[in-house]
Amino acid sequence: MLLTLTTTHRPATDLGWLLHKKPARLQTFELPFGAAHVFYLEATEERCTAALLLDVDPVGLVRRPGGAAGGGWALDQYVNDRPYVGSSFMSVAISRVLGTALGGTCKTHPQVAASAIPLSARIAAVPCRGGERFLRLLFEPLGYEVSARRRPLNERFPQWGESAVFTVELSAVVRLADLLAHLYVLVPVLDDDKHYWVGRDEVEKLLSRGGDWLPAHPLREQIAARYLKHRRSLTREALSRLADEDAPDPEAVEETHAKEEEAVEKSLSLNERRVGAILAVLRAIGARRVLDLGCGEGRLLERLLRERTFTEIVGLDVSVRALEIAKDRLKLERLAPAVRDRVRLLHGALTYRDKRLSGFDAAAVAEVIEHLDPPRLAAFERVLFEFARPGTVVLTTPNAEYNEKFADLPAGTRRHRDHRFEWTRAEFAAWANRAAGRFGYAVRFLPVGEEDARAGPPTQMAVFQLIAASDAEDGGHAAAGPERGEDGGSEIRPPEKKATTS
Ligand code: SAH
């Protein structure tokens, strides 16, 4: 595996300082899977090219204790493309051998390390699963000029056709540390394989190397999924954390914002009224098994638990912190087993299909929809109405028209900084009617809180009722089959194994 890094920054030999590798020396480093050599192909004032050559030892890997992937005598353990192509081995080498540069520090040349300089990276061979288009979609949004040349399967037998391997060159005016971070994350993503077991610490690596640029990347979901070897629970966790990664402590900020919202709405004791209105609907329809989707800190769960008619109560939220607070609020540890067994807390995101959510009489979705990015709404609708498909859905959201009544809320602002939108009554009705029609529900609207003659109620509520539940099984109500995304992936993933935080 050969990676070369070239700069035309003047003096180009600064690259040696940035990489902490002297141009005049060949250096070799022993890594768990073989050797990494660093040397320079050229080093002049005008142009400097450093090379990282990886000598992956597949036989050594198999013989290492616990090294044989899958065991047995499969020949491909010994004979494979790993020694030759860019892969997760390259990422390990970057972090072990060029770690200081990856971290962006350079004692002698801090200014150059902190500056965008003309750089190009060339990877002699890398498998591009997803093809050249995917390669471009990965790197072009980050500002790289991408050149890619597909390699034939065998140069001596052109009739055998092309391989999945490309020679790739990426050029940009970029900080060296950023270029290395992009390669570190995206080369294994291109390759879509990893040579080691991917566990929770991989989420940390992704967040630490990708936190600055991944949240804004249009392919962030595929990137996270491939980086985490398609382990869905990890991908979910990474994505939910990435979404807020620009904030210093996203959940702490969320809490402050929630308090601000509470302060705005407190005079109306809206929270209380919302919970009351939702409970009234759930009681009226005789619901026994209920979901609280985006349960937050568990206010509704607490009330549901007090009523024995609710025999199975499941709260789901994307925020682990919120779930921890909910757990404390419910005092789960101290409850009698018969009570405790009626409630479960699940960590999950409402934009992913989740088998754990199907088969319920009703779902409450209180003050959650306005936290979803508009492009995610379609996925949320399918997760809720098509896959979870409860008999009744009680959904609340702020009424934007009422905002003018809040004295403390400057005109044109929303009640909560994390709200992606706040709908007028007409906008909410348009959304709800369309979703109901598409998924075979009937919908009616109820006000929550004191209604103003002109602005309407502070909170608006829609109650969706599944029509003709007997027809529901045939799936004919909605577009058939899961939506396939780019790269054969899908935002709506197949169901997940049980994982509870309770
Ligand atoms: N339903 C609660 C909390 C509302 S605040 C109440 O009425 O008091 C919104 C909640 O939605 C937050 O706890 C947030 O973590 C959660 N949330 C936001 N996006 C989500 C998603 N995609 N999946 C699951 N929960 C989400």
CATH number at residue 131: 3.30.1610.20
What pLDDT digit, counting tens, does each position of 451-490 carry? 999 999 999 999 999 997 555 444 444 433 333 332 322 3
Give me the chain's average pLDDT, please: 83
According to the model, what pLDDT value does residue 255 have? 55
List of residues 6+ apart from 379 with CB closer than 8 A: 351, 352, 491, 492
Cα dist from 407 to 400, 404, 482, whole Å: 14, 7, 45
Least confident of 15-24, 75-84, 320-329, 361-370: 75-84
Count up the domains in the chain and report the number: 2
* Domain assignment of residue 224, yes or no: no
* Domain assignment of residue 242, yes or no: no
Sheet holding 2-7, edge to edge: 27-31, 34-43, 48-56, 2-7, 117-127, 162-174, 145-152
According to the model, what pLDDT value does residue 344 have? 96
Ligand 1 proximity of 317 Cβ (cutoff 6 Å): yes
* Domain assignment of residue 435, yes or no: yes
Atom of ligand 1 nearest to the CA of 319: 15
CA of 302 from ligand 1 middle (Å) equals: 16
d(CA 278, CA 129) in angstroms, rounded, equals: 48
Host domain of residue 154: 2-196
Q: How many helices (H) and strands (E) does the chain have?
A: 17, 14
According to the model, what pLDDT value does residue 473 have? 46
Tell me which residue has its CA closest to atom 8 in ligand 1.
296
What pLDDT digit, counting tens, does each position of 131-146 carry? 898 899 999 988 999 9
* Domain assignment of residue 229, yes or no: no
For strands 117-127 and 48-56, give the pairing. Answer: unpaired
Instruction: Name the band, by pLDDT with cuts 50, 70 and 90, for residue 77.
Output: low
According to the model, what pLDDT value does residue 63 have? 64
Ligand 1 proximity of 366 Cβ (cutoff 6 Å): yes
Q: Do 302 and 390 have their domain in common?
A: yes
What pLDDT digit, counting tens, does each position of 276-314 carry? 999 999 999 999 999 999 999 999 999 999 999 999 999
pLDDT(250) > 90:
no
Q: Do 272 and 410 have their domain in common?
A: yes
Atom of ligand 1 nearest to the CA of 364: 1
pLDDT(68) > 80:
no
Ligand 1 proximity of 381 Cβ (cutoff 6 Å): no
Q: Do 266 and 189 have their domain in common?
A: no
